[in-house]
Amino acid sequence: MAEFMTETKQRSPGETGSAGAGDEPAPPGPGGRREAAGDAGAGPLDGQEAVALLERTRALVDPELRAAVDSLPGSMRRIALYHFGWEHADGTPAAGNAGKAIRPALVLAAAAALGGPGARAAAVRAAAAVELVHNFTLLHDDVMDRDTARRHRPTAWTVFGVPDAILAGDALQALALRLLAEDPHPASAAAAARLADCVVELCAGQHTDTAMERRAPDEVTLDEVLAMAEAKTGALLGCACALGALYADAHDEDVAALDGFGRQAGLAFQLIDDVIGIWGDPRRTGKPAGADLVVRKKSLPVVAALASGTPAAAELAALYGKPYVEGEAGDGGEIARTALAVERAGGRDWAQAEAADRMALAMQELARAVPVPEAAGGLLALAEFVTRRTS
């Protein structure tokens, strides 16, 4: 168990030095290690195990996803197939990118960690259900955030219109619950109830997020944004791990521990995602540079920077105080100044350090349910992957 345990501490914005402008994020690994990309050693930490696990997950889960999507009425099916990257907008086949499959991979890895290969095989339908819910949230989030690009192509609402994108998202959520309702596995009813509760939490988190966007920069606290991020991102990763544990017939305390692991890993994931949203390379992310800054999004690095009490925080507050006009692309020079203000105020360093702390907490939760590191290899590899990515 000692391999998982790492001391954590709470950090305030501005406690650490600023990284150089334009540097790529150097996210933490499991246990809170701050490492530069490519520094990790062999085994799960080199990223290859996670990539292989994600590829195996896609091979197992995609047939279930395709069958579910193919059962939709034609109008909804066309939008969903486009969103997943399986068709072009005109309905012709595409070999697109359906996403990384992190959440279904967590379902399968958790089932394997607690129940072995048999539990993993039994949990494929549950993994597909989690991925359907994730994509329901993406379709809706893109509408609410007015995002115009996802997975290196125009978002569904920009192609098919807002009403159709929303309805397609609703249909994916219904498909997820139907998959579990029709699953003969003994854990399916508990899994369906847990996934439904998760959707409610996701919606509450998104509601909080949209409400925050209407508030002035100095009216939003860091604790509020962290709680919102747990609901929006941590909840589904926690649910994915918990569903895997349910399908392994785990004890309640182990289900709760894996939910806690996923939630803390999800917060680390969101922290790194927010860093990438500001400083990521558009060629890798598929989104315009500084898109979050253009729309004055109160992401975790931004709110941490605003709370730092530094001169750069005052500059950032002034920049964020300017009204956003929907449809504006954003001035490149102003975006660069805003990103630099976030960095100088400590937002970037704080986010990376906080992600390390959250991963340390995740490892502690994982050790409660899976004390033998070898059994938790898949979960460890995925945790490493999601916190060391640059897109």
CA 76 – CA 172 distance, rounded (Å) = 9
At 10 the pLDDT is 42
Q: Return the SS3 of 101.
A: coil
Give the closest residue to 375 by CA, choosing from 83, 178, 115: 115
One-letter identity of residue 141: D
- DSSP per-residue string spanning 45-93: GGSHHHHHHHHHHHHHHHHHHHHHHHTS-HHHHHHHHHHTTSB-TTS-B
- How do the domains of the chain map onto residue ranges? 28-387
Would you state the pLDDT for residue 46? 52
| 164 Cβ contact partners less than 8 Å away, ≥ 6 residues apart | 75, 79, 156, 157
Write the single-letter amino acid at 340: L
Which residue from 281, 280, 279, 278 is spatially nearest to 299, judged by alpha carbons? 278
Task: Determine the Cα–Cα distance for residues 234 and 286; give it in Å rounded to an integer.
Answer: 23
Q: Are 108 and 124 in contact (CB under 8 A)?
A: yes
206: number of CA atoms within 13 Å, CB side?
17
- The helix (run of H) or strand (run of E) holding residue 149 is strand 149-150
**51: Cβ–Cβ under 8 A, 6 or more apart, which residues?**
385
Can you give the pLDDT at residue 183? 98
Alpha-carbon distances, residue 106 vs 8, 101, 242 (angstroms)? 24, 9, 9
For domain 28-387, give the fold. Answer: Farnesyl Diphosphate Synthase (1.10.600)
3-state secondary structure of 150: strand
DSSP one-letter code for 18: P
- Beta pairing, strands 28-29 & 33-34: antiparallel
**Secondary structure class of 33 (helix, strand, coil):** strand
Q: Give the pLDDT of the chain (391 residues) as one tens digit per residue.
A: 333 333 333 445 554 433 333 334 344 444 433 333 333 333 444 578 999 999 999 999 999 999 999 999 999 999 999 999 999 999 999 987 788 999 999 999 999 999 999 999 999 999 999 999 999 999 999 999 888 888 889 999 999 999 999 999 999 999 999 999 999 999 999 999 999 999 999 999 999 998 988 888 888 999 999 999 999 999 999 999 999 999 999 999 999 999 999 999 999 999 999 999 898 888 777 667 787 888 888 999 999 999 999 999 999 999 988 776 555 555 678 889 999 999 999 999 999 999 999 999 999 999 999 998 889 999 999 998 988 776 6
d(CA 200, CA 205): 9
Q: What is the pLDDT of residue 102?
A: 95
**One-letter amino acid of 1:** M
CA distance 93 to 75: 16
pLDDT given for residue 388 in this prediction: 79
- Distance between CA atoms of residues 321 and 190, nearest Å: 46
Query: Could you tell me where the DSSP H helices lie in the chain?
Result: 48-70, 74-83, 102-122, 124-145, 156-160, 162-181, 188-213, 222-229, 235-247, 252-279, 282-285, 291-294, 300-306, 311-320, 332-344, 347-369, 377-387
